[in-house]
Amino acid sequence: MSKVIKSVCNDELNLDNVGIFYNKDNIKAQEVSECVKTKLAENQVNSKIYTTYEFSAGITFAIILGGDGTILKAARYYAEYNVPILGINLGRLGFLSQAKSSQADKAVECILKGLFKIESRTMISALDGKLNALNDIVIKGESFSRTSRLYVHINDNIVCDYLADGLIISTPTGSTAYTLSAGGPILSPSLDAIVIVPICPHTMNARPIVIPSHEIIKVTSSQNKPLLKISADGQNTLDLGIDENIIIKKCDYKARLVLLNLEKNSFYSVLKEKLHWGLSWKG
């Protein structure tokens, strides 16, 4: 008989085949994964522990132990299979996680009590699905010591040519990552939008732009520049010839993130905590 938990928001979570995935490069991760497995077993939920090199399509719910990079990797894999994921932070910032390692037991309790919701997050795709990203697609020149001239078209209309160190195409989820560092706006992850942000542009009139997610972005480069590099979530990278058009659009599927009803767990509370908003500077 299937074990399905219905949340207070009427979202359903299938616990028939729970996978606990940990980053084996993190010393503490395996220990926490064992604690999570024990807590689930105490509540008659079977689970299996894997490393983040062992993602399986047969999982019905994935618990990810690690930093944001580990969660991004899992989200990209499981989005295609519509599998919800829960992140428990063992990294530094932990924007995508819902609990600290010390809260792992409490996180499991929230799941079992239905104190969660499942939020679908917009993803973007480049090069006909060769690269998919939950955070961002980044385009840079092959030579990191030189700027690149990148032409941005939206729906086949030329919008701007950027002389810059590169270009970030970001989802709302990724707006608190590289995009934020490059001067882009913070977007609520519930928005269905895409952000285009130049990296260190060599002109004062180059500004970030927010567009609806259904619009199609094409990026081209001038013919006298070297090859381009394109990366997804800072993890998957491809080299491109200068004559290749880069088409970026909304992905056909979305990441499904499990959000817990823990204290101070709303998006705005997380922003305040992670970015230290409202705290006076101490020299």
Instruction: Cite the active site residues.
Output: 68
Could you tell me the two tokens for 81?
């299979």
